[in-house]
Amino acid sequence: MENNDVYVGGRINDTATYWKNGVAKKLSPGSIYAIAIVGHDVFMAGCTTTQDYEDMATFWKNGVPTILGPGRIFSMAVKDNDVYMAGVGGYKNENITVYAATYWKNNRKRPLNDTTVGDAQARSLFLYDGDVYIAGFIENNSGKYLPVYWKNGRLVGLANPKLIIHKEGAKSIFVQNGDVYACGELDNVPVYWKNGVAHTLNNTGANSFATAIAVEGNNLYIGGDNQYYPVYWKNDTRIPLASYEGHVNAMEIVSY
């Protein structure tokens, strides 16, 4: 939001689209997953799709695209004229494109996991006190998906390896006063981690997920869904948002 203008990103059919105050502007084949507003500049990130149906990691500044190579960008932040992004990027391995969890700073990309083994994605990025935190998942040698985060490229595990994690992994990350919070799910149960320690959310049923996290003062907020219904939790108290099926994908806490 800028000067009470509301920006929303996504897609219409197969075309990357953003809305400003409800008015749609189509960009190119693909999808938008993240938006950042800095002054009068509008940054968006996601992917464009080639005629061969290959996704190309792309960010737009004021509607002008920059294509970064094969992959998708799921999260972004802009600070001091630097553009930080996280997602999945493609790398050549014996003339075959393989995909890895990836972090971009401006146009430069770097893999977050070994590109020769396993599956991995970076889903959420957060800047704090000069450090870059990125949440996501990796696949271990046993084929299990484990929630993780990276701090400045260094891998930090979040769960007991005996627990099978869904491929979505850790979906959101937030840092306050040096404490690192993340959320996701273990075996279809929504959880959050504080400094790597897992806590199960109460009052949930099967097929429930935690997808967004924020901290304000002493209050912890987590958005997601409970048995496919959109909800959020405030300090472990579940608050329904609708009586019909849906999902919570993002959360922002604003203090006035």
Token digits for 135? 């949440």
Query: Does the domain spanning 7-240 belong to CATH 3.30.43.10?
Result: no
* Domain residue ranges of the chain, discontinuous segments joined by +: 7-240
Question: Do residues 118 and 167 make contact, with C-beta atoms less than 8 angstroms apart?
Answer: no
Q: Residue 186's CB: how many other CB atoms inside 10 A?
A: 19
Token digits for 3? 């000067």
Q: How far apart are CA 50 and CA 163, in angstroms?
A: 38
Residue 190: pLDDT band with limits 50, 70, 90: confident
pLDDT of residue 164: 58
pLDDT of residue 85: 96
Local structure of residue 2 (DSSP, 8 states): B
Segment 31-52 shows an average pLDDT of: 90
Token digits for 218? 């002493």
φ/ψ of 195, rounded to 5, equals: 55, 40
Local structure of residue 206 (DSSP, 8 states): S
Local structure of residue 201 (DSSP, 8 states): P
Model confidence at 230: pLDDT above 90: no
Model confidence at 159: pLDDT above 90: no
Segment 10-28 shows an average pLDDT of: 87
Token digits for 254? 């604003």
In single-letter form, the type of residue at position 103 comes to: Y
Token digits for 133? 């935190």
Write out pLDDT tens, residues 121-155: 999 999 999 999 999 988 877 777 888 999 999 99
- Please measure the distance between the N-terminal and C-terminal CA atoms of the chain and give it in whole angstroms: 15
Q: Residue 77's CB: how many other CB atoms inside 10 A?
A: 18
Write out pLDDT tens, residues 71-129: 999 999 999 989 999 999 998 877 788 889 999 999 899 999 877 777 899 999 999 99
pLDDT of residue 101: 94
Question: Do residues 214 and 253 make contact, with C-beta atoms less than 8 angstroms apart?
Answer: yes
